[in-house]
Structure 1
């Protein structure tokens, strides 16, 4: 008889566990408190445009091998657009294309770094020395200090810190340099820039995440026997003797099972665990994890303001601008005009609008600003770069702040993260906040789900390697940096 597997949480961690187990012939019951799957990587319906829009633009990198495998296994890979170049806009408004050259890693991006117009040659030499030092092992002394202190220790210029290290790391880790550990910063640069030629590539979903997880992935899972129950919030993990026997829902319904995965956010998980785990030393670090916000501003304008699919802004409040008109988005009738949606104006007929999303990570400093103030800041920054933005009429806007978007990668944070195997044998934990060797990313979430699934398969006597290996480190990177 097939074991009854219950997964609480329909974010990427829970979905990854469900896919791995279902794919190996073990369908699950997946419980999700919201009316949609995806967790923080999800969409919401905007009634004005009558479309689904993502709460925040999510991207993945070439080094995210487990997320890529997850998408390929369930048929989502064709809904991501790979960007052959990044575009950095310097303080003066000049656009700097950033793409790999023909040299092997880690030299493949040398030309791209050299051409950044907003860094002087002394800044670039400082940056090169900093990257070489960061590729080395992290000492215990360095790991106890924030990355901002490491940058000072390694003589990084103020301009390099503000225009390079800040730009890359705040986007990748969603925290300020004063709240990032050296090991997490190293992870970003080694995996994305130094180890392999393809690690830096950015893949952007071309459709709203709801179409991926609520449509295609849901169909893949349910067609293979997995049951998905939306608006079914887990309220308590219940014990029978020394093992978990069921999960009680908020409605008081009891879901009985044999193997369990709790894939909830770290700030919710302790409240539903059995009392014997509330004080267990292996889990005490969970309540010491901190979080950081990410804000997104969605703008619908009456005209296009840029042709590029995205840009990264330097020395501005806005950090990324995604041109959803180019990247693609769903439309009311599925027309072949990606990204162009209809917006209703008072007293007018439906008009064609162009949709842009601006993302601001580590947005602590925006808490005191009203939506109107933030909107004006963003529109002014766009107008300083693209003259058409100054002429554009704002037809519609939405503002979303995910206040607990990620766990903060503070120094010592990895000591607080629990493993997927809980102290109770038939209970697994999953989430990007568990021990994954990755920061709070979609890759980290998928890794946690795969690791939880591996534990269950091992317990059932059918061990399997679900976790995917990283990209193979280039020979020159091994020789130069010992990676």
Structure 2
């Protein structure tokens, strides 16, 4: 009896070792495929990564990354690859108002969408008039599913009874850090999704998941080991020069910067949006004209300021700072047990949509943040700064500008075998880690469908509470709010 050689396993090449590429690889292992993951840098993780502090040898994150309980696919990815134990769930969020008093946002006994109402009413950085305005705005936001075409979220807020104070202290506090954009250039649908999915639909969606280890350990060392153990060919410092077509214009594979070539049945391009077109060969660019539109996407920066003090400064594990330039302070001595040598405290400060720091050098940015910390806690004024880093990811995300969803491409391209992955693709989520993971899952699903092995990979959203589902779906819009003061306001930006 003659033996016929087994057909070769299809080869998938993933270009980019960020979270989207990692999610793609993680869902294709153990499925009879040869998977190669190419990353130009010497470590995995993309923007969710760490660097080694040359003075101490410890890992320092580029910028703090947090998740929310409503990010169901990110949670699924973390369980899948065995890093879920390195996150800690925060059942409450602490706010430190401009007057130095703290407030805590946590779920009470009421069902969604009213579960946060009691703690919100007790918050002391907003007055009663402010709270009424915000409550009215939340009601209108829950029931207005579309807004007006091309309208920024800031304009929507003015149109729905909000004023400078509520925008500055409440809406911007939540959305600038969540979407990494300015309210005057923020898409209405993205802003609405944050509040509906995170704060209204169910009781747990708002809860934060904070990494209890450096990102370089989470998405670097652990992921690299997990993938290699499952047969993935992980190649670091393996930059790609081009993604190539054959003489018929069909996908052939990739050419590396060192001149090497890898033939592939499938290629997943999981790189930032501004690099995609430059990697495609002329023949592939000609066959994907829809990708020209992504040139209209704009990058948005995030700045992380790392500060090591000689004594404790921050009395919290984490804190949100309404009304300030800085958005968050994370106490890594408390969260990750990282006490500086000789004692003291290690804080990471996050400034999202950090355009206001763009004109400053690193010393000036550091001093601005130190000034804000000194206003928040007297101990910061007295403490000695022993070490510091200022790290800006200039293209941390795409800017959530009005209408940007219309130019976000799907993962499947017109070229057979060529896929895209990244939080900038069409995921029905903003530029978040959840969006990145969803893009990888969708790219993997497309590949499996092409191989006649369809499989549902996306995890369902958190289910809406029974009352929340009925109210968000059925109630008529509330009456128009007509404030008797501060009707007119100047153009609103960062605040």
Q: Scaled by the length of structure 2, what TM-score is found?
A: 0.92
Displacement, 1:26? Answer: 2.9
Displacement, 1:23? Answer: 4.5
Match of 2:240 among 234, 242, 249: 234
Match of 2:225 among 208, 215, 219: 219
Displacement, 1:382? Answer: 1.3
1:109-148 equivalent positions in 2, closer than 5 A: 109-139=116-146, 142-148=148-154
Displacement, 1:25? Answer: 4.2
1:310 equivalent in structure 2: 318
1:450/1:153 CA distance change after superposition, 3 Å:
same
1:353/1:47 CA distance change after superposition, 3 Å:
farther
8 Å Cα contact 1:277-1:283 kept in structure 2: no
Displacement, 1:412? Answer: 0.8
Match of 2:431 among 431, 434, 440: 440
Q: Does 1:479 align with 2:470?
A: yes
Question: Gaps (5+ residues) in structure 1?
Answer: 329-337, 343-350
8 Å Cα contact 1:88-1:312 kept in structure 2: yes
1:33-81 Cα shifts (integer Å, max 9, x gaps): 0011010111101111220111000000000000000000111000001
8 Å Cα contact 1:87-1:98 kept in structure 2: yes
Deviates more, 1:393-402 or 1:472-481: 472-481
2:60 equivalent in structure 1: 53
2:190 equivalent in structure 1: 184
Aligned-partner Cα distance in 2 for 1:41–1:458: 29
Give the length in aligned residue pairs.
465
2:371 equivalent in structure 1: 380
Aligned-partner Cα distance in 2 for 1:204–1:425: 39
1:414-447 Cα shifts (integer Å, max 9, x gaps): 1111000011010100000000000100000000
8 Å Cα contact 2:300-2:353 kept in structure 1: yes
Q: CA RMSD in A?
A: 1.3
8 Å Cα contact 1:307-1:326 kept in structure 2: no
1:1-33 Cα shifts (integer Å, max 9, x gaps): 321111000000000000000153434100000
1:96/1:44 CA distance change after superposition, 3 Å:
same
Displacement, 1:352? Answer: 3.1
Q: Scaled by the length of structure 1, what TM-score is found?
A: 0.94
Displacement, 1:135? Answer: 1.3
Displacement, 1:341? Answer: 3.2
Write out the 4+ residue segments of structure 1 that deviate beyond 6 Å after TM superposition: none
8 Å Cα contact 1:18-1:27 kept in structure 2: no
Aligned-partner Cα distance in 2 for 1:92–1:374: 23
1:153 equivalent in structure 2: 159
Q: Does 1:296 align with 2:304?
A: yes
Question: Gaps (5+ residues) in structure 2?
Answer: 1-7, 475-495
Aligned-partner Cα distance in 1 for 2:331–2:459: 32
8 Å Cα contact 2:14-2:25 kept in structure 1: yes
1:5 equivalent in structure 2: 12
